[in-house]
């Protein structure tokens, strides 16, 4: 009879095993469900170039699959290469069902011994999974999904079909995709005519196509060739005698320049740009199972004519800035390598009534930096945030003619502020009480802070989020009123469009439709719109923003530069000239422009938004007009009533308001008509 303790140990062990198997089963079931959502037919499609078109159908460029070569039947590929490939990458290929369990255990033990990942266990099927679905990263979650997809692929395709897809798609260095291109590029022959040493050298490239390239690292490629041949001897594919002879071979590799010339002739290649990267990333989100396949036709909302004009405007204006006497930073022309230290700019232009993005400039040169400063960077908005503060206050009962003090914020005046914040105005001067609209036209910080308090900090934060400018983790501070919170150029352009649409925000988008190679519609954009401001509040704010661009406003230079179309906008400059902004709109387009350094620093003394950002905006909008974009007047709400209001409260004026000489006439949108008479007088 067993000892009770032994029985307990046995029971605990059995239960632990059962629990472990149950957990493993649940995990596998979960990832099998995820794998089931991927289009299995994507595995059987040889990649083609994905064409990216602008809104009119003109070609912008190509994405993945730019040059995949001509696929060749598996039976025409040299058996030397097929044997070398299997020996090198997956010796149990014909015996497993997508996952090499022995290889997994071996790799796990080796990595555990070394204390780091030094050996993988990807089968050929798992590698094909990554090619087919664009899976990236080295997380355990990605690996489990890859394994689940590999099992699914093995159920739907034969070993020969899997191998055929793999050899025609595998990347083999220097723009070579598939065995036929590699054979032609490295050795000037078809894949059918490869000798065993040549085949082994190409198979040796797979794990590090650039590091093991025969073009650039011949001795390293030779070492990998010999390693592959040794694996073939281990697997019984060649004899020891043959190995001894073969490892002495030194295959003749043709010059890389010859292949590059061939590539220019054969390839459909487009230089990568910020907008192509945007499209590529978005397609990976929308259609993950097509991310690595290609053969798509993507209709975007971009206008390549306006895109080109925007690019020229940025580069010409910033080159002129760098040429100014005493300019203190490195210039674009002096850049050689590393992260750019020269001044950058970012632009987004969007259609007000649809949200269609017409142009995006993510930086001056994608080859210097792929970071998209229009969509990925969040920089302090400064004064361009103030219109949202005023719009929120207008919804809360403030009117443009109501008097707001321009005196310094007194200690304790903002009761919830525990730090006693008191901003200065850009001119260093405090004034008396003035109509609220002057605070926005002249960008007065003290008046804006009081307007923000009229609206209420919670309401301002809610409006910021509603307008698409919300930032998670924003510290609640009255400094938000004057734009210390960060936002992207992309989101600012969208937020400003509400002033042209009567308060409606159409969520920005840049992909309209996606079709596959058979012209089947895979995706079509569905419009998303919602109200951000009431029609009346949007119109009142817009009326003031139009005055910002007239004499006495911070954006008056726009008119002196020659832009005459109806428009509204706001300049913005952060402390020490770190960030220069201009955001504005016409009846059809809204655009925002940011200028600054990637590592925040002073652009140069006097680099105000009106001087360095607004000229870029003017150039872009002027180009849009010449391209046929019509800019008309911005229509007021359906009904605007002339009313007598109190300058102190914004409520209906009474006799005592008149006695106090605080009555004025305001143009009041119907939806904002006050319902009460002034109670203060």
Give per-residue pLDDT as tens, 91-130: 999 999 888 877 666 656 555 555 544 445 689 998 998 8
Q: How far, in Å, CA of 404 to CA of 481, rounded?
A: 15
Report the chain's terminal Cα–Cα distance, integer Å.
Answer: 100
Residue from 40, 48, 642, 647 nearest 400 by CA: 647
Q: How far, in Å, CA of 307 to CA of 624, rounded?
A: 10
Topology of domain 379-626 in CATH is Beta-lactamase (3.40.710)
Model pLDDT, residue 384: 96
- Tell me how far apart the 2 most distant CA atoms of the chain are, in Å: 115
pLDDT for 620 beyond 90: yes
Residue from 676, 669, 677 nearest 641 by CA: 669
pLDDT for 69 beyond 80: no
pLDDT for 606 beyond 70: yes
Model pLDDT, residue 542: 97
Q: Please compute the mean of the pLDDT values over residues 275-280 and round it to a whole number.
A: 94
Average confidence score pLDDT of the chain: 89
Pairing of strands 579-585, 589-596: antiparallel
Model pLDDT, residue 636: 87
Residues whose CB falls within 8 Å of the CB of residue 381, separated by 6 or more in sequence, listed in order: 469, 483, 485, 486, 487, 492, 572, 581
DSSP state of 449: H
Q: Domain limits of the chain? A: 67-266, 379-626, 640-672
Q: Are 647 and 619 in contact (CB under 8 A)?
A: no
**Cα angle 543, 642, 392; round to 5:** 45
pLDDT for 520 beyond 80: yes
Phi, psi of 380, rounded to the nearest 5 degrees:
-55, 135
Tens digits of per-residue pLDDT, 323-362?
A: 999 999 999 999 998 999 999 999 999 999 999 999 999 9
Residues whose CB falls within 8 Å of the CB of residue 444, separated by 6 or more in sequence, listed in order: 406, 425, 431, 434, 438
Model pLDDT, residue 377: 95
pLDDT for 370 beyond 70: yes
Model pLDDT, residue 140: 77
Q: Please compute the mean of the pLDDT values over residues 176-192 and round it to a whole number.
A: 93
Topology of domain 67-266 in CATH is Penicillin binding protein transpeptidase fold (1.10.3810)
Q: Please compute the mean of the pLDDT values over residues 364-373 and round it to a whole number.
A: 95
Tens digits of per-residue pLDDT, 558-602?
A: 999 989 999 999 999 999 999 999 999 999 999 999 999 999 999
pLDDT for 403 beyond 60: yes
Model pLDDT, residue 10: 57
Q: Please compute the mean of the pLDDT values over residues 603-616 and round it to a whole number.
A: 96
Model pLDDT, residue 295: 80
Q: How far, in Å, CA of 571 to CA of 523, rounded?
A: 38
Tens digits of per-residue pLDDT, 457-468?
A: 999 999 999 999
Model pLDDT, residue 548: 95
In order of 176, 221, 538, the CA distances from 80 in angstroms are 19, 17, 72
Q: How far, in Å, CA of 242 to CA of 548, rounded?
A: 84
Model pLDDT, residue 289: 72
Count other C-beta atoms under 10 Å from residue 330's C-beta.
15
Model pLDDT, residue 269: 59
**Helix, strand, or coil (residue 350):** strand
| 28-42, 139-153, 338-352, 387-401: range with lowest mean pLDDT | 28-42
Count other C-beta atoms under 10 Å from residue 36's C-beta.
11
Q: Please compute the mean of the pLDDT values over residues 143-165 and round it to a whole number.
A: 89
pLDDT band at 66 (very low <50, low <70, confident <90, very high): very low
Q: Please compute the mean of the pLDDT values over residues 18-39 and round it to a whole number.
A: 61
Model pLDDT, residue 436: 97
Q: Are 287 and 514 in contact (CB under 8 A)?
A: yes
Q: Please compute the mean of the pLDDT values over residues 369-386 and round it to a whole number.
A: 96
Tens digits of per-residue pLDDT, 214-272?
A: 999 999 999 999 999 999 999 999 999 999 999 999 999 999 999 888 876 666 656 68
């Amino acid at each position: 009879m067993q000892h009770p303790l032994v029985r307990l140990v046995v029971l605990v062990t059995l239960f632990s095993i059962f629990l472990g198997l149950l957990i493993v089963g649940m995990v596998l079931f979960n990832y099998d469900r995820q794998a089931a959502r991927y289009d299995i037919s994507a595995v059987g499609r040889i990649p083609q170039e994905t064409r990216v078109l602008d809104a009119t159908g003109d070609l912008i460029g190509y994405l993945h699959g730019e040059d995949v070569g001509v696929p060749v039947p598996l039976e025409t590929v040299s058996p030397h290469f097929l044997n070398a490939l299997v020996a090198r990458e997956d010796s149990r290929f014909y015996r497993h069902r997508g996952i090499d369990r022995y290889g997994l255990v071996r790799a796990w033990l080796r990595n555990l011994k070394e204390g780091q990942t030094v050996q993988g266990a990807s089968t050929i099927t798992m590698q094909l999974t990554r090619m087919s679905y664009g899976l990236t990263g080295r997380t355990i979650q990605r690996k489990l999904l890859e394994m689940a997809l590999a099992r699914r692929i093995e159920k739907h395709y034969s070993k020969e079909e899997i191998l055929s897809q793999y050899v025609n798609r595998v990347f083999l260095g220097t723009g070579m995709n598939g065995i036929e291109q590699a054979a032609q590029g490295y050795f000037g022959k078809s894949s059918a005519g490869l000798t065993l040493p040549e085949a082994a050298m190409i198979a040796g490239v797979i794990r590090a196509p650039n590091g093991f390239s025969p073009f650039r690292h011949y001795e390293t490629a030779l070492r990998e060739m010999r390693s592959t041949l040794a694996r073939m001897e281990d697997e019984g594919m060649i004899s020891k005698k043959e190995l001894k002879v073969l490892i002495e071979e030194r295959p003749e590799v043709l010059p890389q320049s010859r292949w590059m010339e061939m590539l220019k002739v054969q390839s459909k290649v487009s230089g990568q740009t910020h907008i192509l990267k945007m499209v590529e990333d978005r397609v990976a989100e929308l259609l993950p199972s097509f991310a690595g396949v290609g053969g798509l036709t993507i209709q975007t909302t971009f206008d390549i004519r306006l895109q080109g004009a925007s690019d020229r405007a940025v580069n010409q204006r910033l080159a002129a800035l760098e040429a100014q006497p005493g300019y203190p930073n490195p210039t674009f022309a002096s850049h050689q390598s590393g992260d750019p230290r020269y001044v950058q700019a970012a632009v987004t232009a969007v259609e007000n009534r649809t949200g269609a993005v017409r142009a995006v400039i993510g930086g001056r040169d994608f080859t210097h930096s792929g970071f998209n400063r229009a969509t990925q960077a969040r920089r302090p908005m400064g004064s361009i945030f103030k219109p949202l503060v005023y719009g929120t206050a207008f919804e809360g009962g403030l009117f443009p003619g109501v008097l707001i003090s321009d005196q310094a914020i007194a200690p304790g005046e903002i009761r919830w502020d525990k730090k006693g914040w008191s901003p200065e105005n850009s001119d260093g001067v405090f004034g008396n009480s003035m109509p609220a609209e002057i605070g926005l036209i002249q960008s007065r910080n003290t008046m804006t802070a009081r307007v923000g308090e009229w609206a209420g900090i919670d309401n301002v934060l809610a409006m910021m989020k509603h307008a698409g400018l919300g930032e998670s983790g924003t510290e609640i501070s009255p400094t938000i009123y004057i734009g210390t919170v960060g936002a992207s150029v992309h989101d600012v352009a969208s937020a400003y469009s509400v002033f042209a649409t009567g308060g409606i925000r159409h969520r920005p988008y840049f992909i309209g439709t996606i079709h596959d190679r058979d012209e089947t519609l895979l995706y079509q954009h569905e419009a998303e719109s919602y109200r951000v401001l009431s029609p009346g509040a949007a119109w009142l704010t817009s009326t003031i923003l139009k005055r910002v661009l007239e004499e006495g406003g911070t954006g008056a230079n726009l008119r002196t530069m020659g832009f005459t179309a109806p428009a509204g906008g706001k300049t913005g400059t952060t402390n020490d000239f770190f960030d220069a902004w201009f955001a504005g709109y016409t009846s059809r387009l809204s655009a925002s422009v940011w200028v600054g350094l990637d590592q925040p620093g002073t652009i140069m003394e006097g680099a105000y938004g009106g001087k360095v950002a607004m000229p870029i905006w003017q150039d872009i909008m002027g180009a849009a007009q010449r391209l046929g974009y019509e800019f008309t007047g911005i229509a007021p709400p359906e009904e605007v009533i002339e009313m007598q209001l109190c300058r102190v409260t914004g409520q209906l004026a009474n006799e005592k308001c008149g006695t106090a000489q605080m009555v004025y006439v305001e143009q009041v949108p119907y939806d904002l008509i006050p319902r009460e008479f002034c109670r203060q007088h």
